[in-house]
């Protein structure tokens, strides 16, 4: 099962990321994971949140440009080489990873990936019995 990721487009100016976090906090929306990418003129804040629909609604109401994307989140042991094994299987099946980010909690690492082919990626991960996480398991 995939999860929904929010991509929020932000101008590169002081306080813009804080505006997003304050808006989410105001509506009791928790950020489970995030990643920030930037270019010269703007940044993209990618978020996994506790309430996707509400987050989209409140951020758009505050005039943020928000886009939803399906991503895959896997849980793997937080030890050297675990992620490499999974990525080897995906590469062998010609699954390109557009981007990824991760966070660790104790013995488990959670890795959010945006594969070139989400459905095929899910098939491969399920065949491997990988721990594919859902929104409720984050």
Mean pLDDT per 10-residue section of the chain, whose length is 138 residues? 92 88 97 87 92 97 96 92 92 95 89 94 88 70
- What pLDDT sits at residue 135? 63
**CA 129 to chain CA centroid, nearest Å:** 21
State the CATH class of domain 3-69: alpha beta
All CATH 3.30.2130.10 domain ranges in the chain, comma separated: 3-69, 70-133
pTM over 0.75: yes
User: What is 70-133's CATH number?
Assistant: 3.30.2130.10
């Amino acid at each position: 099962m995939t999860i929904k990721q929010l991509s929020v487009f932000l101008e590169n100016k002081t306080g813009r990321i804080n505006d997003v976090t304050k808006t989410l906090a105001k509506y009791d929306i928790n950020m489970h994971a995030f990643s920030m990418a930037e270019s010269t003129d703007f940044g993209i804040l990618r978020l996994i949140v506790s309430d996707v629909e509400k987050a989209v609604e409140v951020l758009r109401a505050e005039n943020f440009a928000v886009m939803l994307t399906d991503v895959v989140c896997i849980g793997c042991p937080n030890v050297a080489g675990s992620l490499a094994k999974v990525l080897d299987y995906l590469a062998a099946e010609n699954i390109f990873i557009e981007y990824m980010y991760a966070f660790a909690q104790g013995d488990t690492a959670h890795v959010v990936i945006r594969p070139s082919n989400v459905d095929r990626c899910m098939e491969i991960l399920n065949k491997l019995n990988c721990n594919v996480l859902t929104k409720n398991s984050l």
